[in-house]
Amino acid sequence: QVQLVESGGGSVQAGGSLRLSCAASGRTNSVYTMGWFRQAPGKELEIVAAITWSLGETYYANSVKGRFTISRDNAKNTVYLQMDSLKPEDTAVYSCAAEDGYYVDFIRAPDYWGQGTQVIVSS
């Protein structure tokens, strides 16, 4: 079992920044891929960014490339999502996720989910 706890969400004006954190605990040695999904009201769940735990390979949705940065701190078992140049369309509930398998499995159906944290970007 893996537990994920997100923090760092909140409200910010367009152009501002937020940093989301996801702390993992439990059987974390099984985790290979971690990342973030988001879901805006009336919209489908979409992947935002992902990172492999060991190699640090990263993936970004086209809509956030150049603005968001995913990183990890192995000593703290924590993954971060630095969000810069935020836009109103970034408003959503952001959820941390972890997968025991590879990236292809992560994007399809992650094994573990955090509780979600809300990000609101106003004009």
For residue range 66-80, list pLDDT tens digits in order.
999 999 998 899 999
Q: Looking at the chain, how many residues does it have? A: 123
Question: pLDDT band at residue 47, thresholds of 50, 70 and 90?
Answer: very high
Bridge-partner residues for 76, per DSSP? none
Residue 46, CB-side half-sphere exposure with 13 Å CA sphere:
16
Which tokens sit at 122? 């106003």
Say what the pLDDT of residue 102 is.
83
Q: For a pLDDT cut of 90, what percent of the chain falls above it?
A: 83
**Across the chain, which distance is largest between two alpha carbons, in Å?**
42
Say what the pLDDT of residue 26 is.
94
Say what the pLDDT of residue 6 is.
96
For residue range 72-108, list pLDDT tens digits in order.
998 899 999 999 999 999 999 999 999 998 888 888 8
> Residue 69: enclosing H or E segment and its boundaries?
strand 68-73
